[in-house]
Amino acid sequence: MKLPVLIDKTVSNPIEQQASGGCSSGSCGSSQQAVNQLPADIQARVADHPCFSEQAHHFFARMHVAVAPACNIQCNYCNRKYDCSNESRPGVVSEVLSPDQAIQKVKAVAASIPQMTVLGIAGPGDPLANPERTFETFRRLSRETPDIKLCVSTNGLNLPDCVEELSQHNIEHVTITINCLDPEIGARIYPWIFWNHKRVRGVEAARILIEQQQKGLEMLVARGILVKVNSVMIPGINDQHLLEVSRVVKEKGAFLHNVMPIIAEPEHGTYFGLTGQREPTHQELQSLQDACAGDMNMMRHCRQCRADAVGLLGEDRGEEFTLEKIAAMDIDYDAAMEKRQQIQAQLLEQLHRQQAGGEVSLPDATLCSSEAQSRPVLMAVASKGGGLVNQHFGHATEFLIYEASPQGVRFVGHRSVDKPYCENSSSCGDGDSVLQTILSKLKDCEMLLCSKVGYEPWSALEDAGIQPDGSHALEPIEDAIQAVYQEMADKDLLSSESETQQQSA
């Protein structure tokens, strides 16, 4: 049987096929389903935006400049006090830049990483709570680096006041973080806001914030600026409520919804981290994303990157562009622009080619009739990028999760581990604990596709009910998954009975 690949062609078809690249596989921006469902004109606008398409993010890079340190609200999942360079989470940066320094950094990165197409201002505070610094940066970039797309993210409190100015800077995308529509729920997420020269607390604070967010969303849509909505999923607080959020923001014209899991580790010192708020499981996140997907284009590959990240999604080359290093660079931006144009045209072409080669035939009639009863199967994939099954199990720090079903193959998310099973040649298998962590992260997967896997982890994976498979090394991920699903069907492993067996095993 042939399965359709249900990738998000949302953004632009070319982009998506590459399923894995810099970020190891698919996890930064949106899933392809999301992109595919967008109207053609929007697809064209976001085709080379790495955050909006799982495929594009393997070709194109983004950067954030941290020019906006101040914030006008407090979120219970945020703590501004720490910056550890190992930490990768929004709201964290190593150094705040002046607009001048930011322009210099953008030019340096654009010249060194020609596939960088998008510049975002995302903090570390709220960009629109720092309007002078944010808009000076945008004004100069619009003029001096006209080939770079600009975007901004905000909590929305100051958004209505900024829409006019935003619409003057050729800013195509604005991301608003909207965690709730109900002020009672909001009061459990936001302890205070700074509003009209006062610190406002509780339900009243949440009510004002929500009102401003919704008003800002409507105003942006009315001006034809694309709006993506980010929501942080906080189990027990807003998880069920986000269905309603998704429905309403879609109704108002947001083009993409990105539901992200809360990061609540005690060592980050956030309210939620210190009060034992739990993070959602992968399954809970996926279920919520699936439920929202009925109403809304969902994004599934967000990496929740730092406010000063540089590079492809999932990688951060910020260290190469510290103030000291960029000061020593002499950039001829006109020359860089020419080179960028050539390289980006090649990348787009590659993306298109991949897409064309990746056409997958629709299920045939027999599949629809007789095999449609087959149950869906989750499979984990180790990939270094390029849309291929091409990574050794022991080297993977991230696994891409795909669901195969009679309806097709779809990317459902990514799961990261802190350490690979083989940290270096001498420490392979050093820690059973590392292996245990990987097993627990992948426990709902039945198959693991990778280029190779050692004997010991092979046995451990099998014992955990995850069948390793190295026979599809270097094949395109979707093709490999289809082949494996077909093999499972041939072995009669896909009836509901076999699932029961597996679960009881």
The reply on whether position 253 binds other proteins by CB under 8 A is: no
Restricting to residues 130-169, name those near other proteins by CB under 8 A: 130
In the complex with other proteins, which residue's Cβ is closer, 7 or 73?
73
Main-chain dihedrals φ then ψ at residue 388, nearest 5 degrees: -115, 155
Return d(Cα 149, Cα 204) in angstroms, integer. Answer: 36
Of 63-71, 250-258, 422-430, 481-489, the window that binds other proteins (rule: CB under 8 A) is 63-71
Among 187, 221, 243, 274, binds other proteins (CB under 8 A): 274
In the complex with other proteins, which residue's Cβ is closer, 68 or 210?
68
Return d(Cα 135, Cα 428) in angstroms, integer. Answer: 50
Of 53-61, 64-72, 203-211, 337-345, the window that binds other proteins (rule: CB under 8 A) is 64-72
Task: Write out the two tokens for 317.
Answer: 């080359």
In the complex with other proteins, which residue's Cβ is closer, 13 or 153?
153
Of 49-57, 267-275, 282-290, 375-383, the window that binds other proteins (rule: CB under 8 A) is 267-275
Of 110-118, 193-201, 326-334, 425-433, the window that binds other proteins (rule: CB under 8 A) is 193-201
Which residues contact residue 445 at a Cβ distance below 8 angstroms, ignoring those fewer than 6 apart?
378, 379, 380, 399, 401, 466
Q: How far is the CB of 215 from other proteins (least distance, A)?
A: 22
In the complex with other proteins, which residue's Cβ is closer, 124 or 261?
124
Among 143, 198, 223, 339, binds other proteins (CB under 8 A): 198
The reply on whether position 325 binds other proteins by CB under 8 A is: no
The reply on whether position 194 binds other proteins by CB under 8 A is: yes
DSSP line for 469-500:
E-TTTTSBHHHHHHHHHHHHHHTT--SHHHHH
Please report, in angstroms and rounded to a whole number, the separation of the first and last CA atoms in the chain.
Answer: 28
Among 80, 250, 317, 375, binds other proteins (CB under 8 A): 80
8 Å CB contact between 86 and 318: no
The reply on whether position 291 binds other proteins by CB under 8 A is: no
Among 2, 161, 170, 199, binds other proteins (CB under 8 A): 199
β 226-233/198-201 pair status: unpaired
Return d(Cα 231, Cα 147) in angstroms, integer. Answer: 30
Q: Give the number of residues in contact with other proteins, rule: CB under 8 A.
A: 23
List the alpha helices (DSSP H) in 55-182. Answer: 99-112, 131-144, 159-167
Residue 99, classed as helix, strand or coil, is helix
Of 123-131, 174-182, 367-375, 432-440, the window that binds other proteins (rule: CB under 8 A) is 123-131
Run of H or E including 340: helix 333-357
Q: How far is the CB of 272 from other proteins (least distance, A)?
A: 10
8 Å CB contact between 101 and 323: yes
The reply on whether position 76 binds other proteins by CB under 8 A is: yes
In the complex with other proteins, which residue's Cβ is closer, 24 or 72?
72
8 Å CB contact between 50 and 111: no
Run of H or E including 256: strand 256-261
Among 38, 109, 110, 129, binds other proteins (CB under 8 A): 129
Q: How far is the CB of 208 from other proteins (least distance, A)?
A: 15
8 Å CB contact between 27 and 303: yes
The reply on whether position 197 binds other proteins by CB under 8 A is: yes
In the complex with other proteins, which residue's Cβ is closer, 198 or 339?
198
The reply on whether position 275 binds other proteins by CB under 8 A is: yes
Q: How many CB atoms lie within 10 A of CB 100?
A: 12
Q: How far is the CB of 277 from other proteins (least distance, A)?
A: 12
Among 74, 115, 355, 482, binds other proteins (CB under 8 A): 74
DSSP line for 174-195:
EEEE---S-HHHHTTT-SEEEE
In the complex with other proteins, which residue's Cβ is closer, 265 or 338?
265
The full length of the chain comes to 505
Interface residues with other proteins (CB under 8 A) are 69-72, 74, 76, 79-81, 96, 125, 129-130, 191-192, 194, 197-199, 269, 271, 274-275
